[in-house]
């Protein structure tokens, strides 16, 4: 029976691949043609060719990305209709659907239908492919009554989900379109507006669901998000590398991936810092500290400033300076933007003194202007103005603030001297992750410098004129090409193609302008997805919210896994402030990663964190119990080496992580030179990776070996949460070696399986 059903599916699948080949060949042919085509050599002809190239190569890349697992399901409706679900929509020459894209509304029943609520579906079939060959089909019977006698005989049952979960890990996250579960599907297809918080324990699929949601939103709201873009924020670069294949494998390439510290563009903010420094700098009070630090640069001297210019003695009294400052700030609150107003006022005060001395009746308007110009160019005057109100960059402000105890004490009077010592550092110290949000805050409060404003205005007017000309040109090109039937594009692609030509023409005229979606500090996005959202500090949220002015966001996280002392304690507290009445929560409750045997250890740790918390339910058992061994400190490295060797044997092709306390990372890195280390960007490509807790967030491995659990506990105030994170990284096997803390000795020591 199974063979027969497989043969039936093979017929359909072969037809789908044949269609895919036709489309791909066509895209390849189109691409090749435009690449070799002679152009007249003008800029516009080149731009036209580049636009065609981008259109066809984008289409070719999309058609190639769906090769693996093109079709993965079939729905048999009670009405008698039957259709296949896959990674892309395909039609035959008569526009009959061969395959339905998983993101379309009709495909939703594939993920949502249950026996209790069949939604008009009698059978859901999972189809497994190896290359282009159907190797298995698994059926879920949803409405037995609707299934005819002979159809009942064709039912094939085997759990598609479990077979996918048991597979060895590769160091890269995979897409899960074939096995999305109902509670996950509801989250993926939730509407675009507002903030959706997805809370769920470890391994419940928060990350993978968030990425599929990005693909769904880009597909469903293509026009809107095509313009404004999607930003995915993850905890560190190792994690971003772990997930960076998921969206391209779903055919989506137009997404910006970044860590929080990359959100302030232009600096690399990765230097290490103490947990205490990160806590202090992550608190909301820092917004006021930055504001006060800026104000601290605007000086009102206690005594009048006197100086000579030509024969005149000029005087600037504290009152006049204070008045000029207040007036400027009332007109324009941003420091750098208000400075020119302040400068004009001071120059006027000085010019008036000279005019008074000469006698008003002898000085005309043009003379006053000349006089002001002269003052404005005088070195003494410029030096005084810079002293009273210097122009500042965010980088200068933040580095000066954290290198001067005096400035810091004045700007942050609530900090104790011990707290100030925790954040003080040399002027030229490297940027740390918590600096990014402070630099961003400073940039907001300072505003651009005069030079940048002038440059930007000039660029904007030039760009507007060029864009208009390009749009007209692009419309002409598309009309001519369509009339001459030289291009074949779908009606809905015309606008996109026109924009592409306009954009490319612009780039030829101005090659420094960004190509694909680029990012800078002022970028805003139509939708923002934040993973491990519980780790972000209050200051990080302020920065992030500036990138999501529409407040269309998906935040995924687990408060029990919070490692950072400045992380989120309550979603309500955070979101009632930023998105009042525009946020909703969804919960994921099933753990797809960690088998029940390992969750026994995780559960003991979770109840030590908070006895009221319940772990997610594991979807599978492995029969392999975790191995906990109280190894004395002096033997730990040897025990680790032995464990690595035996785990490699046990898991064969999969991946192993050795997780150690952050403070002992270098020590273990020296002791285990053959293991991939986190300073290496390809750390996850090796068979064994050495990680600390922050680096292991969001990742998973077939086998996890935790060294020195007691060290992990004492390393931070959130040591229990850190241990919980480490334990729940395992998909099959867990080994814990070293001094065992109380919370683990309670879990019965088990003999090695």
Ligand X SMILES: Nc1ncnc2c1ncn2[C@@H]1O[C@H](COP(=O)(O)OP(=O)(O)OP(=O)(O)O)[C@@H](O)[C@H]1O
Of these, 179, 259, 503, 537, which contacts ligand X (CB under 6 A)? 179
Q: How many residues does the chain have?
A: 753
* CA distances from residue 50 to 53, 299, 405 in whole angstroms, order as listed: 5, 55, 55
Which of these segments, 198-206, 260-268, 277-285, 708-716, binds ligand X (CB under 6 A)?
198-206
Which of these segments, 81-89, 94-102, 160-168, 734-742, binds ligand X (CB under 6 A)?
160-168
DSSP state of 457: H
Q: Give least dist CB 730 to ligand X, A.
A: 11
Per-residue tokens: 726: 């480490």
CA atoms within 13 A on the CB side of 70: 24
Regarding 654 and contact with ligand X (CB under 6 A), the answer is: no
Q: Give least dist CB 731 to ligand X, A.
A: 7
Regarding 176 and contact with ligand X (CB under 6 A), the answer is: yes
> CB atoms < 10 A from the CB of 615, how many?
24
DSSP state of 282: H
Regarding 202 and contact with ligand X (CB under 6 A), the answer is: yes
Distance of alpha carbon 184 from alpha carbon 198, whole angstroms: 10
According to CB under 6 A, which residues from 706 to 745 bind ligand X? 728
Residue 259 known to bind ligand = no
3-state secondary structure of 115: coil
Instruction: Pick the closer one to ligand X by CB: 170 or 393.
Output: 170
Residue 207 known to bind ligand = yes
Regarding 208 and contact with ligand X (CB under 6 A), the answer is: yes
Q: Give least dist CB 592 to ligand X, A.
A: 4
Binding mask 523-562 toward ligand X (x if CB under 6 A, else -) reads -----------------------------------x----
Q: Give least dist CB 200 to ligand X, A.
A: 5
3-state secondary structure of 256: strand
Return all residues near 635 (Cβ < 8 A) that are at least 6 apart.
none
Regarding 700 and contact with ligand X (CB under 6 A), the answer is: yes
Regarding 184 and contact with ligand X (CB under 6 A), the answer is: yes
Per-residue tokens: 81: 């209709």
Regarding 181 and contact with ligand X (CB under 6 A), the answer is: yes
* CA distances from residue 588 to 175, 187, 206, 215, 314 in whole angstroms, order as listed: 18, 9, 7, 19, 72
Instruction: Pick the closer one to ligand X by CB: 600 or 646.
Output: 600
* CA distances from residue 411 to 90, 293, 294, 406 in whole angstroms, order as listed: 62, 5, 9, 9
Residue 732 known to bind ligand = no
Residue with tokens 């409405």: 143
Regarding 564 and contact with ligand X (CB under 6 A), the answer is: no
Of these, 161, 436, 555, 643, which contacts ligand X (CB under 6 A)? 161
Residue 594 known to bind ligand = no
Residue 193 known to bind ligand = no
Q: Give least dist CB 604 to ligand X, A.
A: 17
Of these, 205, 229, 563, 719, which contacts ligand X (CB under 6 A)? 205
Residue 73 known to bind ligand = no
Regarding 593 and contact with ligand X (CB under 6 A), the answer is: yes
Regarding 73 and contact with ligand X (CB under 6 A), the answer is: no
3-state secondary structure of 576: helix
Regarding 236 and contact with ligand X (CB under 6 A), the answer is: no
> CB atoms < 10 A from the CB of 335, how many?
25
Distance of alpha carbon 401 from alpha carbon 415, whole angstroms: 14
Of these, 6, 63, 146, 180, which contacts ligand X (CB under 6 A)? 180
Q: Which residues pair with 255 in a beta bridge?
A: 230
Q: Give least dist CB 130 to ligand X, A.
A: 18
Provide the b/e sequence for 98-119 (b: ≥16 CB within 10 Å).
bbbbbbeeebbbbbbbeeeebe
Of these, 54, 103, 122, 206, which contacts ligand X (CB under 6 A)? 206
> CB atoms < 10 A from the CB of 607, how many?
16
Regarding 164 and contact with ligand X (CB under 6 A), the answer is: yes
Provide the annotated binding site: 200-207
Provide the annotated binding site for ATP: 200-207
Residues near ligand X, by CB under 6 A: 161, 164-165, 174, 176, 179-181, 184, 200, 202-208, 558, 592-593, 698, 700, 728
């Amino acid at each position: 029976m199974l063979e027969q059903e497989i043969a039936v599916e093979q017929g359909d699948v072969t037809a789908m691949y044949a269609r895919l080949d036709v489309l791909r060949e066509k895209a390849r042919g189109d691409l090749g043609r435009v690449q070799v085509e002679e152009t007249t050599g003008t800029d516009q002809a080149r731009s036209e060719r580049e636009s065609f190239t981008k259109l066809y190569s984008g289409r070719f890349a999309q058609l190639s990305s769906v090769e693996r697992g093109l079709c993965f399901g079939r729905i048999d409706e009670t009405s008698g209709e039957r259709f296949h679900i896959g990674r892309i929509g395909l039609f035959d020459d008569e526009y009959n659907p061969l395959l339905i894209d998983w993101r379309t509304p009709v495909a939703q029943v594939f993920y949502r239908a249950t026996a209790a609520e069949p939604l008009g579906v009698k059978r859901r079939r999972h189809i497994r492919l190896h290359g282009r060959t159907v190797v298995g089909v698994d059926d879920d019977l949803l409405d037995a009554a609707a299934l005819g006698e002979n159809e009942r005989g064709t039912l094939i049952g085997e759990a598609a989900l479990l077979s996918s979960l048991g597979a060895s890990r590769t160091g890269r996250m995979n897409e899960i379109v074939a096995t999305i579960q109902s509670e996950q599907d509801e989250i993926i297809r939730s509407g675009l507006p507002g903030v959706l918080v997805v809370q769920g324990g470890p391994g419940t699929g928060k990350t993978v669901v968030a990425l599929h949601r990005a693909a769904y939103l880009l597909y469903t709201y293509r026009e809107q998000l095509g313009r404004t873009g999607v930003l995915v924020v993850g905890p560190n670069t190792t994690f971003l590398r772990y997930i960076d294949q998921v969206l391209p494998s779903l055919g989506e390439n137009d997404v910006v991936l970044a860590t929080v510290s990359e959100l302030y563009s232009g600096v690399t903010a990765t230097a290490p810092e103490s947990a205490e420094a990160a806590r202090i700098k992550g608190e909301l009070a820092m917004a006021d500290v930055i504001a006060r630090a800026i104000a601290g640069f605007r000086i009102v001297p206690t005594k009048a400033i006197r100086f000579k210019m030509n024969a005149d003695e000029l005087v600037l009294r504290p009152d006049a300076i204070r008045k000029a400052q207040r007036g400027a700030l009332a007109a324009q609150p941003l420091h750098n933007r208000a400075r020119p107003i302040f400068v004009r006022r001071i120059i006027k005060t000085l010019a008036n003194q000279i005019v008074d001395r000469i006698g008003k009746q002898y000085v005309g308007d043009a003379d006053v202007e000349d006089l002001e110009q002269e003052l404005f160019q005088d070195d003494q005057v410029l030096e005084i103005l810079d002293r009273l109100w210097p122009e500042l960059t965010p980088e200068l402000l933040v580095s000066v603030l954290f290198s001067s105890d005096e400035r810091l004490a004045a700007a942050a009077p609530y900090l104790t001297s011990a707290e100030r010592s925790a954040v003080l550092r040399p002027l030229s110290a490297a940027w740390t992750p918590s600096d990014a949000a402070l630099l961003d805050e400073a940039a907001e409060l300072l505003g651009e410098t005069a030079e940048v404003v002038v440059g930007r205005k000039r660029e904007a007017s030039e760009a507007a004129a060029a864009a208009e000309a390009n749009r007209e040109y692009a419309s002409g090109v598309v009309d001519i090409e369509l009339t001459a039937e030289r291009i074949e594009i779908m009606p809905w692609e015309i606008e996109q193609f026109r924009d592409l030509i306009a954009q490319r023409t612009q780039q030829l005229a101005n090659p420094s302008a960004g190509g694909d979606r680029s990012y800078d500090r002022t970028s805003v996005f139509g939708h923002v997805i934040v993973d491990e959202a519980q780790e972000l500090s209050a200051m990080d949220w302020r920065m992030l919210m500036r990138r999501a002015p529409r407040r269309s966001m998906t935040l995924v996280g687990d408060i029990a896994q919070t490692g950072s002392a400045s992380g989120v304690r309550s979603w309500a507290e955070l979101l009632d402030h930023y998105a009042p009445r525009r946020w909703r929560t969804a919960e994921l409750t099933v753990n797809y990663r960690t088998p029940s045997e390992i969750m026994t250890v995780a559960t003991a740790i979770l109840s030590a964190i908070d006895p009221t918390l319940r772990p997610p339910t594991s979807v599978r058992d492995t029969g392999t119990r975790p191995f906990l061994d109280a190894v004395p400190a002096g033997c730990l490295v040897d025990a680790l080496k032995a464990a690595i060797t035996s785990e490699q044997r046990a898991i064969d092709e999969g991946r192993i992580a050795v997780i150690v306390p952050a403070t002992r990372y270098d020590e273990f890195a020296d002791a285990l030179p053959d293991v991939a280390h986190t300073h290496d960007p390809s750390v996850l490509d090796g068979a064994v990776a050495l990680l600390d807790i922050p680096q292991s967030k969001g990742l998973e491995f077939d086998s996890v070996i935790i060294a020195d659990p007691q060290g992990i506990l004492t390393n931070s105030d959130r040591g229990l949460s850190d241990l919980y994170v480490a334990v729940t990284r395992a998909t099959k096997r867990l080994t814990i070696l070293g001094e065992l803390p109380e919370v683990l000795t309670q879990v019965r020591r088990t003999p090695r399986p």
